[in-house]
Amino acid sequence: MKPLMLGLAIALAVSSCATTTSPTGRRQVVGAVSQQQLNQLGAQAFAQMKAQKPQTTNAREAAYLRCVVNAVVRELPAGSQSGWESAVFVDKEPNAFALPGGKVGVYTGIFTVARNQDQLAGVVAHEIGHVVSRHHDERITRQAGASTLLQIGGALLGSRYGQGAANAAVQGGSILAQTGFLLPGSRAQETEADVVGQQLMARAGFDPRGAVSLWQNMIAAGGGRPPQWLSTHPDPQARIGELRARSESLMPTFEQARASGRRPNCG
């Protein structure tokens, strides 16, 4: 869509927004854009990222990520499991994201903190948790309701994914720079993605305790502070406590998944 047409569509859709319940029971207001539009925007944002940032030439890294993504998405509801695409971008920052339409991207820097498949699954499942919890829809709807036509969204690549990518998006004048797709979520959304993500990884046969050690690695790598892309999360130590407690409650789910043959061997 042309920028004006998409902006107008979003503005007109605000009047038909709906109240729904998230996977954790939280009240959400969504519907400023259709799922088809969300998927289209996700595909466009992913294509733009691939045009702006180099991808790894390491086939093992790409296969490793693809294996983890495939294992996690097999636990999604029927109809949401096919068509997922992943990419590893060359960048030393430990970043990751997932987009509507089945797109998952990580930066090579993520492998410095996600040191085994359970930790990588903690990242991937968390980001997919944002998608299945309709957080992109929720953010766009909130922004559309509060903004003028020219202010719908905000920066596409935002501070969460690096100033260089944000500058490139703005300079390109793309409507994607106005959707807020990659802006950090609220703390409620980030906590919810933790909950949903740990459930997904446990059902997929990944040890949910990997999310705990992942976060510990991230804090250590950041000198006691989380990476910029996780700055909207709750207090790091409180979050570790929540992840640890939740992982213990999910151990039966993990063990049942393993007993049923869901034993990912991604590398």
Active-site residue set: 127
10: which residues sit within 8 A by CB, 6+ positions away?
32, 33, 140, 144, 152
DSSP string covering 49-80 = HHHHSPBP--HHHHHHHHHHHHHHHTTSPTTS
Can you tell me the distance from the alpha carbon of 96 to that of 109, in angstroms, rounded to the nearest whole number? 9
Helices (H), the chain: 3-13, 35-52, 59-73, 117-132, 135-146, 163-172, 187-203, 210-221, 236-259
Can you tell me the distance from the alpha carbon of 74 to that of 256, in angstroms, rounded to the nearest whole number? 16
Can you tell me the distance from the alpha carbon of 86 to that of 54, in angstroms, rounded to the nearest whole number? 14
